[in-house]
Structure 1
C-alpha cells in the first residue's frame, strides 16, 4: 500500500533547511567601512589577523607576481566578503584550500566561499595574482602605491596605496601581523618592515624574508627594492637598527642617520617604551619618491634627510604606527604629535622653544610666504573638508598647536604623563579624536579644555589671541 506525501508549506520547508544547515544564513560583508574620507576602503564582516605575502619582482619588465595567504576572523555570518585590490590580474582564489567563485569591480575583489563562514570563525583565503602594479594618485595629487624607481621599486601605502601590491582589508582600523618574502634579481636587495629572518639565493634570484610580530596597518607596510648600502647596528639599549641607503645618497645622509640612536633615546624618555622590535630607515633618491613616510619600524626618506624629518618620522612609530587612527578624519593625531615632537626636539637641543614656534605660527612669521602662514587656518585639524586635505598644513601645524595649548593648560609634568599614557593606553591599537579628548580630561581633572576643543581643534578660522 502506498500513501502520497503531504504538502509542506514553502516557509516551513525553508526554515527546516536553514536549521539543518547550521543556523542563520550568512550575508555578504560590506564593501567599505564608511570612512568619512575614503568610504570604499576597508571591508566589513571580518578582521585580518595575519598576512603572509610571497612576492617576486622583475624591475626590467616591472612585473609583480604575488601569493597572499590571509588569516582572518569572521565578525558576522558571511556568505561572501571583499578584499581591496586595485589593478593586477587575479589568477585564483581559495578559501580553506578550496577553489571558490570570485569577481572584480573597481578595487573590490569579492570572494564567495563554498560554505558560509560563521561569526567568530577563523578562515584562510589565498589569492594568486600578477601584473604590472599601478601607481595611485591621491586626491591631494601625491603618488603612492607601487612606485617604480631607477633600480627597482618602492611600495608606499598612505592612505590607500597598499591595495596596489597586495589584496587586503585596506583601512587603518584593521591591523595585523605580517610575513613578507620578496624575490628579486641577484644583486638587488628587498627591504621591508620588521626583522629580516632569511636571505637565500638560487638561480640568480635572491629572496628576502621579513617578519613583523607587532600589529601593523596596511598603509605603513612597505617594500623597497633596489641597490642599497645596508648597515646594521644597535642602540645603547640593545635595539637593532637596520638602515638601507641608496649609494648615491649615502654620503649626504650619513651624519643625520648616525643620530638615530640619540633620537631614539630622547624619544623613549619623552614618549615611553618603544613599541617595536627594531628601528631603522630606507633612504632613496628624491626623484624616486617625493616625501617621507612613517612605514612601520623602517621609515622611508627621499634624498638626503634632515634631523627634524628624522625626528618626525621616528615619533610616528609611537603616534600613528602603534597608536593608529580609527578613521582618516583622525589623521591629526598622527601628524600633530609628530610635528610637536619636532618642536620638543628643538626646545631640548638649543633651538627655539615650543612657545616660540607657537607664537611665530600664530603671528604669521613662521613661513617665508603669506600664503603658507595663512594656510594653517584653512580648516580645523579634526575637521578636514575632504580627502584632498587630510595631509594639509592645519593637520600638522594647527594639530601641534592643539597639543601646545594642552601643555600650557596642564603644565609639563601632567602633559608628559598624558603623552606617555596615551601611547601606552592604545599601544598597538586604534583610537579616535573623541577618545583622545576624553583621555586628556580624565588625566587633568578640574582643568577646562572646552575652549581648546571648540576653538583650536574644531573651530573654523583663526582663534582669538591666546
Structure 2
C-alpha cells in the first residue's frame, strides 16, 4: 500500500524500456533487459541476472538529508551478459564488477553497467557501487517516494522505494537476503528489517546493523531514521521482536502501543490459519510524520500515526502481518496479481473479527456487499485485472476480500483452509499468479469455478446472488446489520486507500 504519487507513470516506463531494451540474441552475449517484463510497469526491475544478497553500508545525516553508501550486490548471470542495469535514482561515484572497475551511465532510474569482460551465464558476479546523494531531491519523472522528516527520513514505499537508497533489481521476482548497516549521528535511531545484530558508537556516530535472512523483495526492504523509542524482546514462538515509536507521537503513543504490541498475539492467530510464520523476526514501527499509509515491510511493518488518532486499531496490525504470508513470502509475479496480496490481508481482518466476536465473515460480507450500490464505480474495477492505474483501488481490497469469502461459501471451510495453506506452502519465498491460485482452488475443491472467479475477479458489475457466485441470500436483505468490527476496519482502510 502506498500513495498514488509513488507510482511511476506507465508511459514513462514504457519509454524507458523502448530506449534501453536490447535483448541478447540466442546463443550470443548481450545486455540484460532494463525491465523485468511486468505488463503494468514494464520499466520495473531488470533482466539478465538474479540477485542473492545485498550488503548495504550507509551513512546518513538528517540535518541535510545526505546519504552516502556502498552497495555490494551478489548475483548470478541468467544469460551471457555484456552489460546490465540497476534501478537507481542517486549518483553513482564508482562501480566495480568482480573487482575490476566498470563503465557506467545513468538515465532516469536506469544505471547501466558495462563490465570489462562479459559475464558468462550461470556464473556469480559481485558488483560494488559507491554512491551518494540527497534522496529528497532525486525526482524521477515527477516521482519521489523518499520521505524526509523533521528528525530523519523514511524509506518506505510500494511498488518502488529501493532506488532512492540503494541500487538493485527492483521487482518482486528477484528476492534476496540483506545485511544493512546504517550509520547516523549519535542519539539517532535507525530501524530496518530482520534482526538488529549490533549497535556501536564511534566519534559521535552510531552504526545500527540489521540482518534479514529470508528472501525479500526490494520494495519490502525499508529504513526509518529519527528519534524513536526502541523496544526489544521475544515475540511469538520466541522470535526476535523489535518495535519502535517516534518520540514525537505524544498522546498517540498509548493507542499506538496498544495496537502494535499485540503483534505476537496476531502472528500466533494467523499461524493457526496459514501455517508456519514465514520469516524469522517480528515487530513494527510508528513514525509521527510523513506517512499516511501502512506498509508490510518484511518482518517489520511501518504504520502511519494517523491509524491511532481516534483509538487503538488492531485491524491494521492484522492486515499488515497477514501480508507476511501474502505479499512478502508469496509475492506478486507481476503487479497485476496484487489482488492475492490485498484480498487475503483484508479478509484476514474479517477472520480476526469472526474469532473475536465482533462480526462474522459472512456478516462483514453482507455489510460490504450492501455498502456499494450496483451503480457504484466500486464495481467497475475487477480485482483480478485492475489495470496499472488501479492496483491499489479499494475494490482490490474490499471486493478482493468478498471474493475470498464467496470462494469459502462455494467450497466450504475445510477446503478453503486447505487451499490457503497449500498456496503459502507451495509458493513460499517465491511468487504466484492469479491463474495459479484459481487452478489450485479448482484442484483442491474438485469444482469448476469459472462462474465464481469471472464474476468476482474479472467482470465489471456487482455479482448476483447465486450458489455459483457464492453470494448468500442474506446479502440481499434490506436490513443488513453493521457488525461492530466495521468501524475499526473502515478506519484502517480509509488510510490504506489514501494515496495522498
Contact 2:236/2:267 (<8 A) preserved: no
Contact 1:136/1:145 (<8 A) preserved: no
Contact 1:376/1:397 (<8 A) preserved: no
Contact 2:381/2:390 (<8 A) preserved: no
Structure 1 residue 237: deviation in Å? 2.4
- 2:229 equivalent in structure 1: 229
Query: 1:339, 1:243 → 2: CA distance?
Result: 23
Whichever of the two has the greater Rg, that structure is 1
Contact 1:135/1:145 (<8 A) preserved: no
Structure 1 residue 418: deviation in Å? 1.2
Query: 2:325, 2:181 → 1: CA distance?
Result: 26
TM-score, normalised to structure 2, is 0.83
- 2:131 equivalent in structure 1: 129
Equivalent pairs, count = 433
Deviations 1:57-113 (A, max 9, x none): 101011000111001010011100000012x21100110111111111111100001
Matches within 5 A, 1:413-428: 413-428=414-429
Unaligned runs of 5+ in 2: 1-25, 466-470, 472-500
SS of 1:145's equivalent in the other structure is coil
- 1:380 equivalent in structure 2: 382
Query: 2:137, 2:216 → 1: CA distance?
Result: 22
Deviations 1:182-222 (A, max 9, x none): 00000001000011111110010000011111000001100
SS of 1:68's equivalent in the other structure is strand
Query: 2:449, 2:346 → 1: CA distance?
Result: 21
Contact 1:155/1:223 (<8 A) preserved: yes
Query: 2:131, 2:376 → 1: CA distance?
Result: 47
Query: 2:221, 2:145 → 1: CA distance?
Result: 11
Query: 1:375, 1:136 → 2: CA distance?
Result: 36
Matches within 5 A, 1:399-438: 399-438=400-439
Structure with the bigger RCO (C-alpha within 8 Å, sep 6+) is 2
Query: 1:42, 1:34 → 2: CA distance?
Result: 8
TM-score, normalised to structure 1, is 0.89
Matches within 5 A, 1:13-52: 25-52=28-55
Query: 1:427, 1:376 → 2: CA distance?
Result: 32
SS of 1:248's equivalent in the other structure is coil
Matches within 5 A, 1:321-332: 321-332=328-339
Matches within 5 A, 1:28-427: 28-86=31-89, 88-134=90-136, 145-235=145-235, 237-249=237-249, 250-285=253-288, 287-303=289-305, 304=308, 306-364=313-371, 374-386=376-388, 388-427=389-428
Unaligned runs of 5+ in 1: 1-22
Query: 1:329, 1:293 → 2: CA distance?
Result: 18
Contact 1:144/1:157 (<8 A) preserved: no
In structure 2, relative to structure 1, the CA distance for the partners of 1:192 and 1:135 (3 Å cut) is farther
